[in-house]
Amino acid sequence: MFERLISYLDSIRERDPAPRSRWEILLYPGVIALGFHRGAHWLFEAKLFFLARFVNHFSRFLTAIDIHPGAKIGKNFFIDHGFTVIGETAEIGDNVTIYQCVTLGGTNPTNGKGGKRHPTLKDNVIIGSGAQVIGPITVGERGRVGANAVVTDDVPEGATMIGLKARSTLVPAEEWVKEFIPYGTPCDDPCAEGESSDCVEKLQKDVTRLQEQLEALQKQRAGKVEPAPDLFAERKSGTKS
């Protein structure tokens, strides 16, 4: 057991250049939270759910890291800093690194079925600070999720995910207030498939009009006076009609 602890602390030193000794790593909130989780998970597997939750809440009070007792975590798991939430059915492989303010969240529990609701992280995955990984998706081995990214789809092995998925759904509010959306993030894209292409076509037309107007202004300056075309003439005429 002592050798396993030394191996774990050394694995953290390989990923974090800040600590000067293994003793310092023992004070890391992520290390303390993982230690409490090992005990809470053992109690959870023994169906001592109240005691498991008590250990979980005490750990969260000390470390600001909330790991559900039911989560399954492999070897050499490292949470760098705190304020991380890991859900009940999350599964984490070996040598996974998570930075601060990460959520491994679940999908809608209101259908009455527990099941698999949280992500699965394979070996050697890195999750950047502020990232939100939502739903029963899988992040493949050596997958990377950039800071503040929102991920609701499977991540292929070795892929890097960056950026926000958030955008206007164009769905009336009264349609969504009927249901609870965990973390405010729909896992299905309700936008119509043709809407994005229509927006691109409109932007392309606007760019063409801008180019025509620019050419007309250049001719005016050169002495060849021609009336500059109205950039949004078509839109104005369409509105009047």
pLDDT tens by residue, 148-170: 999 999 999 999 998 877 555 45
Does 91 or 82 have the greater pLDDT score? 91
Q: How far apart are CA 216 and CA 193, in angstroms?
A: 37
pLDDT at residue number 236: 56
| Cα 51 to Cα 38, 43, 55, 89, 201, distances in angstroms | 13, 7, 6, 18, 59
Does 202 or 102 have the greater pLDDT score? 102
pLDDT at 115 over 90: no
Cβ 109 vs Cβ 138: under 8 Å = no
| Cβ count within 10 A of residue 125 | 26
Average pLDDT estimate for 105-131: 84
Does 27 or 107 have the greater pLDDT score? 27
Domain boundaries, the chain: 2-184, 193-240
Buried b (16+ CB within 10 A) or exposed e, 148-164: ebbbbeebeeeeebeee
Instruction: State the architecture of 2-184 in CATH terms.
Output: 3 Solenoid (2.160)
pLDDT at residue number 239: 54
pLDDT at 67 over 90: yes
pLDDT at residue number 2: 87
Each residue's pLDDT tens digit, 169-208: 455 555 555 555 566 555 555 444 555 556 778 888 888 8
Instruction: Return the minimum-mean-pLDDT range out of 24-28, 46-50, 109-113, 154-158.
Output: 109-113
Confidence of residue 101 (pLDDT cuts 50, 70, 90): very high
- Cα-based angle 5, 8, 10 (whole degrees, multiple of 5): 110
